[in-house]
Amino acid sequence: MIEPAAAPPPSSFDAGLVGRGAELAAIGNCASCHTSSDGPPYAGGFPVHTPFGTVYGTNLTPDVETGIGHWSLDAFTRAMREGLDREGRHLYPAFPYPHFTRVRDEDIEALYAFLMTRAPVAARPPANTVIVPRPLLGVWKALYFVPGRFHDDPNRDARWNRGAYLAEGLAHCGACHTPRNQLGAELVQRGYAGARVSDWQAPALDATSTSPVPWTEDALARYLDQGIVRDHALAAGPMAGVVRNLAHAAPDDVRDVARYISSLDDRPEVERDRRASRALASLPRARARGSDDPAWQRGEQLYNGACAACHDRGRAVDGGALPLPLAIAITLPQPSNLIHIVRAGILPQEHEQRRWMPAFGPALTDSEVVDLAVYLRSMTGRPAWSNLAEAVRNVHDPQETAP
């Protein structure tokens, strides 16, 4: 238990520190889980669905009753480093303290300054529905939680190390992109191998990446900054929110994260280049070259009537969209991202440009979504999805984009 502390007056924080904290909060994607769909920023209430129940993002504004207004810097630091709330209760690791434990003092201090200078909002999130009682989390932590700091790799340059520090720590990329064991702990030895998050697939970022055009540092930096880059699908699902936040991060930090993350795919450059040229060689439809399968044939008709008008044109043309052989959603081990995107489309937030795909949920029945997915998957040369019909039945809440 850390005693309640009077909230420091906003004027007591250095403006530069607050600004730095704002940039770091953007790197940390804090707003995504700590803001409900219609609520004010950082006032909590967003549902994070886990296999063990739903955890609601807490109110991070300095409201004394419902937020962190009574939290001292020590209490805030301890939450980040040890996963304990001010009263000393274990926090659910949906709050990614296994990553945040690596964040340095000066960055925690900046985050604290940023949060404590937000307008206090009185808002209590709904009660969690997790089936694991909090005290049991002590056992989980003993098994899986490794507190500690980030250490530079002396064989890498300063920018790579900066990127690694941010990605492994505050940005907590692995929280989505690394597979977890049955108790929800990240499998360190399979770091960034891709994972299921809610109903979405976080793609692999390591050498098992299925990105049709392998990522380069420059492409990834632009994608993280803009949410769209040449020859790649735009950020969708939970990643769309990440990119919206990264727009407020320091550009150098985003570039450094891209440097580190792009290095995770350690296939030889010549191999990655070969893959890229092959993917770009036969657009717009690549290997979709005919099949006796009636589902494939129906899928081709649907593609011709519903998709081709945009996706056969390519982005260079006004109103055109990415040729789908370049879309990672059709290459992933599971079809869920494709199903979400077909059904819900890609909708812009207000004032957002260059993001728009109509929702086909009302137009297409389940069996038509299956047919379309069969056809699109055939563009990849990969084995057919084995559980497609079941996935189409189950992935039915397209608005759900919980991280």
User: Which residues would be at the binding site for other proteins (CB under 8 A)?
Assistant: 298, 300-302, 304-307, 309-310, 319, 356-358, 361-365, 368
| Identity of the residue, 140 or 356, whose beta carbon is nearer to other proteins in the bound complex | 356
Counting every residue, how long is the chain? 403
CB of 296 vs other proteins, minimal distance in Å: 13
Q: Decide whether 151 or 396 has the Cβ nearer to other proteins.
A: 396
Minimum gap (Å) between residue 36 Cβ and other proteins: 16
**Residue number with CB closer to other proteins (129 or 367):** 367
**CB contact at 8 A, 359 and 347:** yes
* E strand or H helix that includes residue 242: helix 238-246
Whether the CB-CB separation of 286 and 325 falls below 8 Å is answered with yes
Cα distances (angstroms) measured from residue 329 to each of 222, 288, 339: 19, 16, 9
Q: How far is the CB of 147 from other proteins (least distance, A)?
A: 44
Residue closer to other proteins, measured from CB, 195 or 310: 310
**C-beta of residue 374 within 8 angstroms of C-beta of residue 299:** yes
Q: Cβ atoms within 10 A of the Cβ of 123, count?
A: 19
CA dist., res. 178 & res. 182, Å (int):
13
- Shortest Å distance, C-beta 233 to other proteins: 18
Name the strand (E) or helix (H) holding 255: helix 251-263
Min separation Cβ 346 and other proteins, Å: 12
Paired with 50 in beta bridges are 53
Residue among 21, 222, 217, 243 at smallest CA distance from 115: 21
Looking at beta carbons only, is 301 or 394 nearer to other proteins?
301
Judged by beta carbon, residue 144 or residue 356, the one nearer other proteins is: 356
From CA 321, how far away is CA 334, in angstroms rounded? Answer: 23
Beta carbon nearer to other proteins, 365 or 386? 365
- CB burial of residue 191 (10 Å; 0-12, 13-18, 19+): middle
**15, 16, 28, 154, 224 from 247: Cα distances, Å:** 20, 19, 12, 30, 8
Q: What is the DSSP string of 355-379?
A: --B---TTT--HHHHHHHHHHHHTT
**To the nearest whole angstrom, how small is the minimum distance from the Cβ of residue 357 to other proteins?**
8
Measured from the CB atom, the residue of 109 and 300 that comes closer to other proteins is: 300
* CB of 37 or CB of 277, closer to other proteins: 37
| Residue 212 CB, nearest approach to other proteins (Å) | 23
Q: What share of the chain is helix, strand, coil (3-state, %, to 5)?
A: 45, 5, 50
Query: 228 or 250, CB closer to other proteins?
Result: 228
Sign of the C-alpha dihedral computed for residues 3, 6, 10 and 12 taken in this order: negative
Which residue's CB is nearer to other proteins, number 88 or number 358?
358
Residue 265 CB partners (closer than 8 Å, separation 6+): 205, 206, 207, 209, 214, 215, 272
- Give me the DSSP letters along 290-314: --S-HHHHHHHHHIIIIIHHHHTT-
Q: How far is the CB of 373 from other proteins (least distance, A)?
A: 14
Least Å distance between CB 393 and other proteins? 18
